[in-house]
Amino acid sequence: MQLTILQKNLHQGLNIVSHIAEKNLSIPILNNILIKAKDNIITLAATNLEIGITKKIRGKITKEGATTIDAKIFSDYIALLPNEKIDIQLVNKQDLKINCEKYNTIIKGQSSEDFPVIPQIDKKISLTLAVSDLKVALNQLLFAINPTDSRLELTGILFDINDKFINLVSTDSFRLAKKEINFHLYSGTIDSNGLKIIVPLKTMQELARIINFPNDELTEDSDQIQIHIADNQILFIYQGIEMVSRLIEGHYPDYVQVIPTNFKTEITIDRGELLRAIKMASIFSANSNAIDLTINSDQQQIVVEAVSGQVGSHQAKLAAKINGKDNSIRLNYRYLLDCLNVLSANQVLLKIIDDVSACKITLPGSEEYQYIVVPIRK
């Protein structure tokens, strides 16, 4: 193998791929990145056996070949080189000889024959989504998952797909977030019952990192991401990057039944003002994380307060547009902040039944994003 590549392009590719290579004492090859030069394409790949990521980058190939090399050592070294052309050559069948201006080194490698095969999935159903929609959705969903939950099906995001849109759902049993995204179905058939799959949290975190990663090589389809679904795997394709992941087996809870209806009180309020009031009240919530919201429909205001026997007390009265009855509810302030911090709208809509039923936060005039929170019993 012999190739020439710009440091900037190689560094960017390694930043995307090397993140998935994990320190693995039982399978040392998983610490490595696969480097393959073939058909005028340089491919970088890494896997932890649950997720596999490949990135195709541009360069000049003089001689085809492949090897694997320690991900951290190679990435750290390339990052320190000047932004110039790098000449890479395979020596001793598996080691890499690297030359860039006055810098020359050899890094020990391992045969590519020992590297696990990253599977090519059977693309039964293929979708195209707007990357901007997916970025927003992941930002509004990922925080509502507990990765240590003993119920494996709750450690991922549900993709509830019908023939028009996807409902992405996350929950940790104390709160639930749901985001609706439109898509283009360009291959496959979804029956009337729809399709439900569960994608692991780690996969979605990696996907969020990839689509938010700065990319100087934007193409015509840079605003789109392809999703291909097989029986037990999912493949994401974006900007020359392919990420394949296993799916979580199991049945996701019926989230539709969890979403409350028939609210008694609806509060439309300035998001920034509510966010400030909750942050201030959180200082006085002690270890319980509890803050109280009291809604007065006659005065068209909501009172945010918290009391601590050790610290003191705090109360804020906020103007709001209130429809319905007077009401009150005690909530975990952290759950409220998680939601309010990822919404960009000026106003939010808070819907309440009573102090023992789950409440809902959404945006005025839109149900595309819904956030459900279970109250703290008084």
**Per-chain mean pLDDT for the chain:** 93
Model confidence band, residue 218 (pLDDT cutoffs 50, 70, 90): low
The reported pLDDT for the residue numbered 25 is: 74
Residues forming a β-bridge with 366:
363
The reported pLDDT for the residue numbered 220 is: 55
Structure tokens at 264: 């008694």
pLDDT tens for 338-376 read: 999 999 999 999 999 999 999 999 999 999 999 999 999
Query: How far, in Å, CA of 171 to CA of 188, rounded?
Result: 29
Model confidence band, residue 288 (pLDDT cutoffs 50, 70, 90): confident
Beta strand 312-319 with 184-187 is unpaired
Q: Which helix (H) or strand (E) holds 57?
A: strand 51-57
Cα dihedral 70, 71, 77, 83 sign: positive
The reported pLDDT for the residue numbered 309 is: 75
pLDDT tens for 293-335 read: 999 999 999 999 998 878 889 999 999 999 999 999 999 999 9
pLDDT tens for 35-90 read: 999 988 999 999 999 999 999 998 999 999 999 999 999 999 999 999 999 999 99
Give first-to-last CA distance, the chain, whole Å.
69
Taking 70 as the threshold, does the pLDDT of residue 160 lie above it?
A: yes
Top-confidence range, 22-26, 177-181, 221-225, 288-292: 177-181
Query: How far, in Å, CA of 145 to CA of 231, rounded?
Result: 24
CB count within 10 Å of CB 97 equals 15
Taking phi over 0 as left and psi of -120 to 50 as alpha, with beta for the rest, 153 belongs to: alpha
pTM beyond 0.95: the answer is: no
